[in-house]
Amino acid sequence: MDAGTGEILAHELTDSDTADAAMAGSLVARAGGRIRSVIADGAYDGAPVYAAIRALPPPRSPPKIVVPPSAPSIPKRGVAHGGTERERHAATIAAHGRMAWRMAHDDGLRSLGETAISRLKARGGDRLTARSLAAQHKEVALRISTANKAIRHAKPVTVRIA
């Protein structure tokens, strides 16, 4: 989702046997190289997600990955880390706390993605009406296309006057 416009850039409907985190690399690839940062919740914490995103051909520069590390991966204070992006996030949380890490990495933008999904569910309901997975893919794509058109035409422009 584009945090500036609220439009959904890429989506994937999976079956119950596919983990959401397994789709991270393909979602970033389908967004068309317009990704500056990937912000996700703790379900996407893991080296495979970082590796999948880093393995994509670089459009310009690789996107910043902002995924809160799980509590067990946070090192004790004073313990050296290996230097990977994920380990640096964990070391920062160990040194300064989770809230300071969230503020430093714009983790609050994650709520915008949650809001976009909430809008989709409010508009079309929690359930899909199509029965086959192929038809469900089309139904989700249509809902997203409609939501993106609506947000382009009906999103208010807010101006702060000081």
Residues 104-157: tens digit of each pLDDT? 888 878 888 888 888 888 877 778 888 888 899 899 899 989 888 988 888 777
Is 3 within a domain?
no
Is 103 within a domain?
yes
Cα 136 to its chain centre, rounded Å, is 22
- Quick check: 5 pLDDT over 80? yes
Cβ-count burial of 151 within 10 angstroms (0-12 exposed, 13-18 middle, 19+ buried)? Answer: middle
pLDDT of the residue at 135: 93
Distance between CA atoms of residues 109 and 3, nearest Å: 7
Is 160 within a domain?
no
> Of residues 82 and 70, which shows the higher confidence score?
70
Residue-range definition of the domain harbouring residue 30: 20-154
Distance between CA atoms of residues 84 and 74, nearest Å: 13
Query: Residues, the chain, total?
Result: 162
Is 76 within a domain?
yes
Q: How many domains does the chain have?
A: 1
pLDDT of the residue at 33: 66
Is 7 within a domain?
no
pLDDT of the residue at 138: 93
CB 69 within 8 A of CB 96: no
Is 57 within a domain?
yes
User: For residue 15, what are the CA distances in angstroms to 33, 122, 134?
Assistant: 26, 22, 11
pLDDT tens column, 82-100: 678 888 888 888 888 889 9
pLDDT tens column, 13-62: 888 888 888 888 888 888 876 678 888 888 888 888 888 888 877 666 77
The H or E element containing residue 147 is helix 133-154
